[in-house]
Amino acid sequence: MRKTKTRRGAPRRDEPSARERLIETAIELFYQEGIRAIGIDTLVARSGLSKSSLYRTFASKEALIAAFAEEQNRRFWEW
């Protein structure tokens, strides 16, 4: 497992948005460990965002799961 240094706070102009960071983190963790095995605290810690940022972006874990599924579907059809 690779460790990356995460930076908290608003993204710089050349960095992905909070939504993109959360979805990318969810894709990685959900694929590796499963949706039910990953909690909000793990997603927050690995994405480098605060819990309030997560809940400003997604109303619930279920909303994040829906966005994760939509992104995976988009990537599949793009492929």
4 part of a folded domain: no
**Is 13 within the bounds of a domain?**
no
Does 9 fall in a domain? no
Structural domain that includes position 40: 18-78
pLDDT at 37: 95
Q: How confident is the model at residue 26 (pLDDT cuts 50, 70, 90)?
A: very high
Query: Residue 37, CB half-sphere, CA atoms under 13 Å: how many?
Result: 7
Alpha-carbon distance of 31 to 27, in angstroms, equals 6
Asked whether residue 44 is assigned to any structural domain, the reply reads yes
Give the pLDDT confidence of 37-77 residue by residue, as tens digits. 999 999 999 999 999 999 999 999 999 999 999 999 999 99
The reply to whether 40 falls in a domain is yes
Query: Mean pLDDT, to the nearest integer, of 33-40?
Result: 94
The whole-model pTM stands at 0.76
Record the tokens describing residue 39, joined without a space. Answer: 């909690």
Can you give the pLDDT at residue 28? 95
Indicate whether 7 belongs to any domain: no
Q: What is the pLDDT of residue 41?
A: 95
| CATH label of the domain that carries residue 35 | 1.10.10.60
Domain count, the chain: 1
Is residue 8 a part of any domain in this protein? no
Asked whether residue 10 is domain-assigned, the answer is no
**pLDDT at position 3 over 80:** no
